[in-house]
Structure 1
């Protein structure tokens, strides 16, 4: 293979690597809880009670924690809107004021020792938590039971975006969320996990370095 072909192959490989970084694959299934149809099974329209151990109703997720959760969508009477799509979860379920609500878990494919980015939206409402903050617990890889709190407590419907990193310890990782402290509501929506990628500046520096090296080699050969 001649010099020109080698250089083109190197630059193509670098471009493909940067493109792969730019489009990191989503590892979570049904992160906004849109798959399926909510079937109200209490007096509250647009809300369905999901019991602990249920692994079929909410696609991709298993309900955990011993208590129920509420799957809530359009037409609900709570004056709360989803942060992404139409649906969201209330981790206090129908128990409310029980100190801890239920939760959800999903098992994803990972690489041991690799770093991943986990993000989600946590919701609060002053109509149901009466001006107080609520919280949930997050577990994924080396992050175990981390409590995350809302900071907004003066709106009927508020969402706050949270991003954190975790390191996987095996070929699969359980990503779970559990109800923390609240009065009547702990919102969860817009869950995402992607493989951590280099900062854009790092990828640009790699590309610029390869281009510079190619130009230097061309000058050397001329």
Structure 2
């Protein structure tokens, strides 16, 4: 079962659903709900061009690429997904977008970690601020992550950093949209995503034939 955009919604909680072959993790932005059809500022966020057009690769890209669904691992959406590692070296992709100083932006992306082997690392950086910095994540199927940030200038860079020992990270469905509300969680709230990675290592094990719902609330 694929996880599509229709499976996502903004709530006042972190919601984790475990279903056969797919996991949906929605990170709340509390009251920060954007326009229903806000434009995605990211170019080629789903890698549907079949390559990294619109993105800049950096670091070790020896085992990095865009692959079709037929390659053996289904994308979270569409027909392609980005794959990172193993390379025993840090690398990733970044993209710079135009922003309005002081405006709030919602970030959303689908992430999975294939095979639990060696040292692993993932980080999300926006506008020079690291919102997720995780080491040692176990394997888990597609999960959706999202949160809100405030731009400080007229442009900002979204950066995904990866390191894989004997495994692969997969990325899909990247989006950044401007929202209208100013209610935004503190950067520390993003740290709850790290807890999500921990859950991914256990309850969110890939292909686990179970259904569970866990809700984690946090203060505004």
Q: 1:182 to 1:91 in 2, by over 3 A?
A: same
Matches within 5 A, 1:139-154: 139-141=125-127, 143-144=129-130, 146-148=132-134, 153=139
Question: Which structure is larger by alpha-carbon Rg, 1 or 2?
Answer: 1
Task: Tell me what 1:115 maps to.
Answer: 104
- Asked if residue 176 in structure 1 is aligned to residue 153 in structure 2, the reply is no
SS of corresponding position for 1:34: coil
Distance 2:129 2:147 in 1: 9
Q: Out of 119, 125, 135, which is 2:114 matched to?
A: 125
On the 8 A contact 2:119/2:166 being kept in 1, the answer is: no
Task: Tell me what 1:136 maps to.
Answer: 122
On the 8 A contact 1:120/1:191 being kept in 2, the answer is: yes
Higher relative contact order (CA 8 A, sep 6+): 2
1:88-120, CA deviations, whole angstroms, 9 ceiling, x for partnerless residues? 11121xxx250x442111111101121211111
Q: CA deviation at 1:183?
A: 2.3
Distance 1:189 1:162 in 2: 11
Corresponding residue pairs, total: 148
SS of corresponding position for 1:75: helix
Give me the TM-score of the superposition, normalised by structure 2. 0.58
Task: Tell me what 1:48 maps to.
Answer: none
Q: 1:24 to 1:162 in 2, by over 3 A?
A: same
Higher share in strand: 2
Task: Tell me what 1:104 maps to.
Answer: 93
Higher share in helix: 1
Q: CA RMSD in A?
A: 2.7
- Asked if residue 27 in structure 1 is aligned to residue 41 in structure 2, the reply is yes
Gaps of 5+ in 1: 1-19, 38-56, 200-222
Gaps of 5+ in 2: 1-33, 183-220
Distance 1:21 1:112 in 2: 19
- Asked if residue 160 in structure 1 is aligned to residue 155 in structure 2, the reply is no
Distance 2:38 2:78 in 1: 21
